[in-house]
Amino acid sequence: MNKLSLAFVAIAAAALAACASTPKQASAPATAAAKPAVAATNISGTWTLNVETPMGARDMKLVATQTGEVLAGNIENPRGNMPITGTVKGNAVAFQMKVNAQGMDMVIDYAGTVEGDTMKGAAKFGEFGDGTFTGKKQ
């Protein structure tokens, strides 16, 4: 072999050896696309409720305080101020209050959805039947 061919083979071998000994960079792990943050629903404040009961429509005022998903507050109606407890998960709201109706203790359950400054849903009046409610934030 002539000197030029030997030089070319030597250079090629050196280049291949350099490439083979260069450490590879670890590729960055693929990350899932970040989900956009969903605005948390917070119903804290004063609401005007219209509740359709088996005995007819009733207007009430809900004063709510929300901490995380925990809901507390009072419903003011002609019978007085009654405490409520409940939860808010996403735009779903659920709360209950205990009342004494004609000497009988009863739990009234509310479950609905919140959209901006309005809410609507269903109410269950223990053994006395079901109804609906709507609300508007003041």
Mean pLDDT of 86-110: 93
Report the pLDDT value the prediction gives residue 127, as an integer from 0 to 100: 87
**Could you read off the pLDDT of 20-60 as tens digits, one per residue?**
444 455 555 555 555 555 557 899 999 999 999 998 999 99
Q: In the chain, where are the structural domains located?
A: 45-137
pTM: 0.71
Report the pLDDT value the prediction gives residue 9, as an integer from 0 to 100: 40
> How far is residue 48's CA from residue 60's CA, in Å, rounded to a whole number?
6
| Nearest C-alpha neighbor of 107 from the set 118, 119, 94 | 94
Q: Is the pLDDT of residue 81 over 50?
A: yes
Residue 126 DSSP class: G
DSSP H helices, 1-138, are: 3-21
Using the CB atoms, write b or e for 56-84: b if 16+ within 10 Å. eeeebebbbebeeeebebbbebeeeebeb
Task: Select 45-137's CATH number: 3.40.640.10, 1.10.490.10, 2.40.128.120, 3.20.20.80.
Answer: 2.40.128.120
